[in-house]
Amino acid sequence: MPIISQILGCGSYLPENFLTNDQLAEKVETSDEWITARTGIKRRHVTRDDEYTSDLAYEASVRALKAAGVKAEELDLIVVGTTTPDRTFPATAVMLQSRLGMAGGAGFDVQAVCSGFIYALSVVDGMIKAGTAKTALVVGADTLSKILNWEDRTTSILFGDGAGAVVVRGEEVNGAAEPQGILSTHIHSDGNLQDLLYCDGGTSMNQKSGFVRMEGQEVFKHAVKNLAGVVVEALEANDLQPEDIDWLVPHQANKRIIDSTAKKLKMPAEKVVLTVETHANTSAASIPLALDAAVLDGRIKRGDLLLMEAMGGGLTWGAAVVRW
């Protein structure tokens, strides 16, 4: 009997502190007008010095488990998509395992920068279908604020901190015509483009955590092209037309990039979940944060067809089609 990975519930968490564009304009030469026009961002949440990625991941996970009606003891797998782990090792996922009180199973992190949640979902879906895991927690959590050069206006205005999580369980399809769950995932990378978006620190290279470096315009062009390609790939794999999709749940890097993907799909703005204005780019957290926002406010309903897509450093990119 074929197995499908059903998403039983989601949750998210944003740190309390936030910074507005005007506050940023006091630190670097920028303006609310420029940031709003070029990115759609108005503010971003930022962790305190003593608040870590695992703290955000924990809060989001507790909410996701509650929404799913699942206890931590029922989990046999935790995969966290993150680029900003608390420590070089161990993985954020094992910290989460301990804090949630999950005794057995396995936990590990996936590092695919802003595509981290799609990558983690893809890995977990594969493990569930292979029978390696039954009930999994998939988390996207990042604190990019900790690796930003706050004097660099080309990067510091773009990112924020946050976490989102989903609880996934393998269920037999049982001949359902429209099974609920992850219908397909699609992941890609091109390491030849690594110099367009990277962190200049690293354990092996210079023993520093470093700062984000980005060729913004080039990344923008690749994002538009790669995302247009991967959403078509995802639709074709499921024999779907763009109009079959109820909600586009995109990575929230830049409203102009999201608009371009929506335009390619001829999707009206009402079908696009947008959080970039108040969340900014929260890297691996952005898709589950947007998903949770739209589930909580009642826009996304059970049975709706969702298309998620992301692109990030690597370059990495990917998409997932989910029947909620």
User: What does 84-113 look like in DSSP terms, one character per residue?
Assistant: S-SSSSS-HHHHHHHHHT--SSEEEEE--G
How many Å apart are CA 222 and CA 166, to the nearest integer? 28
Q: Which is nearer to ligand UT7, 77 or 144 (CB)?
A: 144
Report the residue from 111, 254, 275, 316 that binds ligand UT7 according to the rule CB under 6 A: 254
Q: Catalytic residue at 10?
A: no
Residue 143 is given by DSSP the state E
**How many residues sit close enough to ligand UT7 to count as binding (CB under 6 A)?**
20
Residue 220 lies near ligand UT7 (rule: CB under 6 A): yes
How far apart, in Å, are the Cα atoms of 19 and each of 32, 44, 64, 205, 280?
Answer: 12, 6, 26, 32, 10
281 in catalytic set:
yes
Q: Between 94 and 133, how does the x/- string for binding to ligand UT7 read (CB under 6 A)?
A: --------------------x-------------------
Taking CB under 6 A as the rule, does residue 34 contact ligand UT7? yes
* Helix (H), strand (E) at residue 55: helix 53-68
Out of 21, 45, 114, 226, the active site residue is: 114
Q: Is 319 in the site for ligand UT7 (CB under 6 A)?
A: no
Kindly state the smallest distance separating residue 216's Cβ from ligand UT7, in Å: 3
Contact status: 153 vs ligand UT7 (CB under 6 A): yes
Q: Does 216 bind ligand UT7 (CB under 6 A)?
A: yes
Stretch that binds ligand UT7, among 99-107, 174-182, 202-210, 252-260 (CB under 6 A): 252-260
Residue from the set 139, 265, 308, 311 that interacts with ligand UT7 by CB under 6 A? 311
The DSSP letter of residue 63 is: H
Closest CB to ligand UT7 among 170 and 250?
A: 250
For 182-215, give one letter per residue: b (16+ CB within 10 A) or e.
Answer: bbbbbbbbeeebeebbbbeeeeeeeeeeebbbbe
The one-character DSSP state at 227 is H
- The string of DSSP codes covering 290-311 is HHHHHHHTTSS-TT-EEEEEEE
Binding residue for ligand UT7 (CB under 6 A) from 36, 132, 154, 238?
154
Q: How far is the CB of 202 from ligand UT7 (least distance, A)?
A: 19
- 23 Cβ contact list (under 8 Å, min separation 6): none
Bin 135: left if φ > 0, else alpha if -120 < ψ < 50, else beta: beta
> Is residue 90 reached through a cis peptide bond, with omega within 30 degrees of 0 on the bond before it?
yes
Of 165, 223, 284, 294, the residue at the interface with ligand UT7 (CB under 6 A) is: 223
Cα(19)–Cα(17) distance, integer angstroms: 7
Q: Which is nearer to ligand UT7, 133 or 287 (CB)?
A: 287
Sole binder of ligand UT7 in the list 3, 38, 184, 228 (CB under 6 A): 38
**Nearer to ligand UT7 by C-beta: 5 or 283?**
283
Phi, psi (deg, nearest 5) at residue 317: -155, 165
DSSP structural state of residue 170: E
Is 251 among the catalytic positions? yes
| Active site members | 114, 251, 281
- Using CB under 6 A as the criterion, which residues of the chain lie in contact with ligand UT7 when the complex forms? 30, 34, 38-39, 114, 153-154, 157, 197, 216-217, 219-220, 223, 253-254, 257, 281, 311-312
